[in-house]
């Protein structure tokens, strides 16, 4: 079946992580920041799958399962926080959250 070099899998994973980090840095909308975090987590998951395939162990897949659980919890709490912020500040801008500033 697949004879993909592990290095290439890791390159794709790193590209996904960098794109996600780029999104987090670039966007000001909190919803897009959460969306970019999903891309980062998927890059990490791809690295785990590639390593699990390289050593023929199921541990990588088990870890990706835990990453998915973490992503689901993160999205649930993050979106609830997002709704709460939107209700209070009535803006989607991360820069609007400066009420702690003196």
Partner 1 sequence: MSAVFYIASTIAVVAAFLAVTRSDALHAVLWLLVALFGIAVDFLVLGAPFLAALEVIVYAGAIVVVILFVMMMVAGPAASRGQERRWLPPRAWILPSLLAAGLAALAVTWLAGAGGPAAEGTVIGARRVGMLLFSDWLVAVELASVLLLAGLVGALYLSSGSEGPARANGRRRQPWPDPDVTGPGRGGAAD
CB of 101 to partner 1, least distance (A): 10
CB of 48 to partner 1, least distance (A): 9
CB of 41 to partner 1, least distance (A): 9
Cβ distance 30 to 94 under 8 Å? yes
Burial environment of residue 12 by CB neighbours within 10 A (0 to 12, 13 to 18, 19 or more)? middle
List Cβ neighbours of 48 (8 Å cut-off, separation of 6 or more): 60, 61, 63, 64, 67
């Amino acid at each position: 079946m697949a004879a993909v070099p592990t290095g290439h899998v890791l390159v794709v994973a790193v590209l996904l992580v960098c794109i996600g980090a780029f999104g987090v840095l670039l966007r000001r909308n909190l919803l897009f920041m959460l969306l970019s975090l999903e891309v980062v987590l998927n890059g990490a998951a791809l690295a785990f799958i590639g390593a699990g395939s390289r050593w023929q162990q199921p541990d990588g897949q088990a870890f990706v399962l835990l990453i998915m659980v973490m992503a689901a919890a993160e999205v649930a709490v993050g979106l609830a926080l997002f709704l709460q912020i939107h209700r209070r500040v009535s803006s989607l801008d991360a820069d609007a959250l400066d009420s702690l500033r003196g």
